[in-house]
Amino acid sequence: MSTPQIDTTPKWMIWTGRVISALPVLLFLMGAVMSFNLPDKNKKEMEEKMGWKADMAPALGVVELVTAVLYIIPQTAVLGAILMTGHLGGAVATHVRIEDWSGMPIAIVVGVLVWLGLWFRDARVRSLAPFRQL
């Protein structure tokens, strides 16, 4: 029988990770709510500018909601981060395809915050992506 692993993550790191992680979670939750209540103006922009059918908005909202919930739960946080990264990669690809350079950096920054927040919260992620000491 193996001994349980003791979590040695300092409280300040856990709370820093939670604060950083809150921004992507809130953005995904806001995006999900907006996807379920998309105004006609935004539906038109989604179809004409982005090239997405407006009836896909609720499905995208479900994806955002599920990935945010998975990311919040410590046991599924890595899966949530991977799915969030994939969703944000699709956003970057869409902005590049339509040559909308203003929206692309936002998705990239949110993706960095997803992993930075998880890095602070989870020692296993820190062991996979350690910062080298000089």
Instruction: Report how far apart, in Å, the C-alpha atoms of 76 and of each of 24, 80, 107, 113, 127 are.
Output: 16, 6, 22, 17, 17
In a domain, 98, yes or no: yes
Query: Residue 81 and residue 57: Cα distance in Å, rounded?
Result: 21
- The string over 90-101, giving b where at least 16 C-beta atoms fall within 10 Å of a residue's C-beta and e elsewhere, is ebbebbeeeeee
Please tell me the pTM assigned to this model: 0.86
Tens of pLDDT along the chain (134 residues) come to 554 455 678 899 999 999 999 999 999 999 999 999 999 898 998 898 888 899 999 999 999 999 999 999 999 999 999 999 999 999 999 989 988 888 889 999 999 999 999 999 998 898 887 776 55
Domain that holds residue 76: 28-126
Q: How many domains does the chain have?
A: 1
Asked if the structure places residue 50 within a domain, the reply is yes
Residue 116 domain flag: yes
- Specify if 46 maps to a domain: yes
In a domain, 99, yes or no: yes
In a domain, 56, yes or no: yes
In a domain, 19, yes or no: no
| Domain contains 94 | yes
